[in-house]
Amino acid sequence: MANIKEMAAHSQIDPRFGSGHSLCRGCGIPSIVRTVLSSIPGPVAVINATSCLEVATTRYPFTAWKIPWMHVAFENSAAVASGVEAAYHALKARGELSEPMTLVVFAGDGGTYDIGLQALSGALERGHRFIYVCYDNEAYMNTGIQRSSATPFGASTTTSPAGRAAMGKPEPRKNIVEIVAAHRIPYVAQAAMSHWQDLSNKVQRAYHAEGPAFLNVLSACPPGWGHEPRDAVRVVRLAVDSGYWPLVEVIEGHWRLSYRPSERVPVMQWLTLQGRFRHLFQPDQEEALEKIQTIIDDEWERMTQRDAQSASWFASEQARRWEVLPTLPDSWEPRLGEPMWEHFRKTPNPA
């Protein structure tokens, strides 16, 4: 697996996503994008849904992208990727492309859970080979913090505001990982910006999946969640450690927890850091707080059960294939102008 030194070197000598974009301080998106792109050997092309990432990185005539990148619209990134993948096969069959290329889709939760769900479902069913990365900041942040179906129960947004007669979003969030896993694609995972090694490992498994792979990555949004930019990683880490955001993988239909906090922290610790939950700490809101803890406990219980059920499969020979990750030789030192994937090619995957 790639360690942080290798990833940092990779983004130095084979930069794919540059600086100078206008994403906010404390935003989780750029670190997610860098971790994803630095974990993939070989050439990469990116399809981007309309989102903060797209708007903040490609203001004409500037671009932060140093690789082929395309944006068409909000709801269709999986469909555009389907077309690009079909074109890739056509060009390859004609001998016009010599090198294999990885196709990565970046979309937000609105572009994935809501308006892009149909296109995503269609592309997953058709089995196009791409890595779909949903950076999930739990609302429509680009348009000014409106609720999406990824917004958690109780969160105040500009279209589900807390007020005298309302306590924020009354519905719990949609479970996109279960929806995607129901398509029986080879690899589905949930990750978080705070756990970069876990994310990198998952990207590498997604890279090896012979078919569609999906990653749902929790990304902090300081203006949308109402916390200090410097607390971004801390807030996301608490989401993971409280069990609100379990880091899971679904490999060939088998679920497992890829990270288990030694002790789950009470969800209150995560909630209190964020302005979007501030109203829940008014008097008479104990019920809502209890409900949040119950939702999380139930979900955690379900995840641990699934994890236990899959234990025997993960001990099997079939599962072992997924443990094999491309590794750079210990002696490897980054050299300017030498892409890291050259070394990946020299050390082929034993599987």
Partner 1 sequence: MTPRLPFHTPGVDLHHLRVITGAQGVAHAMRQIDPDVFPVYPITPQTPIIQTLSQFVADGLCHTHVLDVESEHSAMSAAVGAALAGARTMTATASQGLALMVEVIYLAASLRAPVVIAVGNRALSGPINIHGDHSDAMLARDSGAIQIFAETAEEAYDFTIIGTKLAEHKRILLPVMVGLDGFTITHSAEPVALLPDSAVKDFVGPYAYPSPLLGNQAGTYGPFSMPDSYFDLKYQEIEAVEAALEVFELVAEEFFRLSGRRYQAVEAYRLEDAEAALVMMGSHSGTAKEVVDKMRDQGTRVGLVEIRLYRPFPRHAIEQALAQVPRVAVLDKASSPGTLPPLFLDVAASVANTSKLVSVIYGLGGRDVPMAGLQDILEGVLADRFPPREPGYLFGNKVWHKEGKSWPI
Interface with partner 1 (CB under 8 A): 45, 47, 54-55, 58-61, 63, 65-73, 75-76, 78-84, 86-91, 93, 96-97, 101, 118-119, 121-123, 125-126
CB 50 within 8 A of CB 71: yes
- The least distance separating partner 1 from the CB of residue 205, rounded to whole angstroms, comes to 24
Select 117 or 296, whichever has its Cβ closest to partner 1: 117
Select 57 or 148, whichever has its Cβ closest to partner 1: 57
- The least distance separating partner 1 from the CB of residue 85, rounded to whole angstroms, comes to 8
Alpha-carbon distance values, 342 to 293, 326, 334 (Å): 48, 12, 11
Order of all β-strands in the sheet with 187-192: 44-48, 102-108, 131-136, 213-218, 187-192, 248-251, 254-257
Give the Cα separation of 202 and 307 in Å (integer). 17
Select 21 or 205, whichever has its Cβ closest to partner 1: 21
Nearest to 128 by CA among 111, 103, 107: 103
Select 101 or 289, whichever has its Cβ closest to partner 1: 101
Both structure tokens of 129? 């080979």
- The least distance separating partner 1 from the CB of residue 302, rounded to whole angstroms, comes to 29
Write the Ramachandran bin of 47: left for phi over 0, alpha for psi from -120 to 50, otherwise beta. Answer: beta
Select 98 or 331, whichever has its Cβ closest to partner 1: 98
Alpha-carbon distance values, 148 to 12, 124, 169, 216 (Å): 36, 22, 10, 15
- The least distance separating partner 1 from the CB of residue 43, rounded to whole angstroms, comes to 9
Give the Cα separation of 63 and 10 in Å (integer). 20
Select 123 or 185, whichever has its Cβ closest to partner 1: 123
- The least distance separating partner 1 from the CB of residue 59, rounded to whole angstroms, comes to 5
Cis-peptide into 170, omega within 30 deg: no
Both structure tokens of 75? 């709801």
Amino acid at 323: E
Helix (H, G, I), strand (E, B) or coil at 173: coil
Select 54 or 198, whichever has its Cβ closest to partner 1: 54
- The least distance separating partner 1 from the CB of residue 25, rounded to whole angstroms, comes to 20
Select 33 or 189, whichever has its Cβ closest to partner 1: 33
Give the distance from CA 109 to its chain's centroid.
10
- The least distance separating partner 1 from the CB of residue 185, rounded to whole angstroms, comes to 15
- The least distance separating partner 1 from the CB of residue 127, rounded to whole angstroms, comes to 12
